[in-house]
Chain A
Amino acid sequence: MEADYAVIGGGVVGLSVAWGLLRRGKRVTVLDGDDGSFRASRGNFGLVWVQSKGMKQPRYASWSQQSAAAWAGFAAELEDGTGRSVGLQQNGGYDLHFSEETLYATVAQYDALKDKLGGNYPYEVLGRNALSREEPHIGPKVTGAILHHQDGHANPLRLLVSLAEDVRRLGGKVLNGKTVTAVAKPDAFTVHCSDGTVVTADRVVLSAGLGAMELGPKLGFKAPVRPQRGQVLITEKLPKLINRPSLIARQVDEGGIQIGATNEEVGLDDGVTQPGLSGLAAEAIAAYPALAKAQLVRSWGALRILSPDGLPIYQESPEMPGAYLVTCHSGITLAAAHALFLPDWLEGTAAAPDLEVFSEDRFPVS
């Protein structure tokens, strides 16, 4: 047996899980795709985000909170291992509103969620004046914002690089350019790739993002995930313009402003469109008028991995015990939970987090 775990998928989700297993002394082999794969870890928005998550399922809100709370320690450990920062900033984040109606409708939802979370949901409503003091460049069309103190952001590309490097430093194998075609369990697991590579392992974690659409059912999962496109823009590096991130825009640690993101049901198409980018730019300028003069240096599309209810899926295969499906659309936010808490669930220790609501039992039999 060459590995305790074979992790299928070398994005932020798979590498976070692999890193967490390695630091507990497990032997791990990660099978990463190639540049033709849909790689959400290379195209995402980089938020470490709590607000608005789990409005209908408080456990998702608290799971995101647990991860956000563990992020600083996770980032520090990665920095110790690699000597590089992942650009984590957790000074709060905004939900910006252009009308009082939407602002207070959202506040009502947050109030209800706060009750279900036992009061642990630290947010405040900032009117125009208060917001202008925090964000001098905010535009006149913004009527107010919800500032949530558990929100933040990181540099997702640095996170990906640091994880890949630290997984190797900890003795993990990362095999790039692999397309997994079949997984068999004659005794232990054998994972077969299109190039003839075979990896044997005691257990398998399927964290292949949209790759689970095809591989999931082969391992006995429902894996009802679908792509949802997000187009984003990034500006030239600018002087400090934005202090805290929002879903509309954030200034990354390197100075550029990332503007996001569309939500489009267009299948496996990760391209960009002129209407999509124009709409993003217009909204960002409404929020921060100074952006009207900024140069855009890049735009791209990437595909979110969404379950029917938007929540993560954590499921052991009923047909192939020892195979686990781990998938979510918030791989950055949940990276710390996946690295630090999910190994307990995979190993079935007493410290395992309760992830029952994230099982596939919630989906109807197809």
Chain B
Amino acid sequence: MKTDSPFLELEDGAPRVRVWFDGQPLDLPAGANLAAALLTAGVQVFRHTPVSGAPRAPFCMMGACFECLVETGGRVQQACMLEVEDGMRIDRPHETEAGNATV
């Protein structure tokens, strides 16, 4: 995944762990906020809405807006409410069901 994120990482001392987002390997700071870490790593589209297929990314970063939903461990959860853990496999939720999601 190309790292052209507009976000700056303030602390870069944390040890990195390997996770997979949409099948792509990423090395993210262990224990970091998952939504923030994915944004910093250059992930811009977290999911597509199941209604229109429009792309979505974090908006509120505080657990209220549910825009940053990802699927991990078999559950759809807000990325901004999760911490980066070694070996995490993160997918875009409902992607296989949303036939019109193309972005």
Chain A residues with a Cβ under 8 A of chain B: 236-239, 254-255, 293-295, 297
Contact = CB atoms under 8 A, between A and B. Distances in A.
Given A255-B51, A295-B76, A236 B69 contact: yes
A254 B97 CA distance: 16
B76 A237 contact: no
Given A254-B51, A255-B50, A294-B76, A239 B66 contact: no
B92 interface: no
Contacts of B2: none
A297 B66 contact: yes
Interface in B71-85: 74-78
B94 interface: yes
A255 B94 CA distance: 12
A238 B66 CA distance: 12
Given A295-B69, A297-B66, A237 B51 contact: yes
Given A255-B50, A295-B69, A239 B94 contact: yes
Interface residues of B, number: 13
Given A293-B76, A295-B76, A239 B97 contact: yes
A258 to B, nearest CB: 15
A122 B51 CA distance: 31
Given A236-B76, A238-B94, A255-B49, 18 more contacts: A236-B66, A237-B49, A237-B50, A237-B51, A238-B50, A239-B50, A239-B94, A239-B97, A239-B98, A254-B51, A255-B50, A255-B51, A293-B76, A295-B66, A295-B69, A295-B76, A295-B78, A297-B66
A209 B64 CA distance: 31
Nearest to B95: A239
Interface string B14-40: 000000000000000000000000000
B90 to A, nearest CB: 15
A182 to B, nearest CB: 41
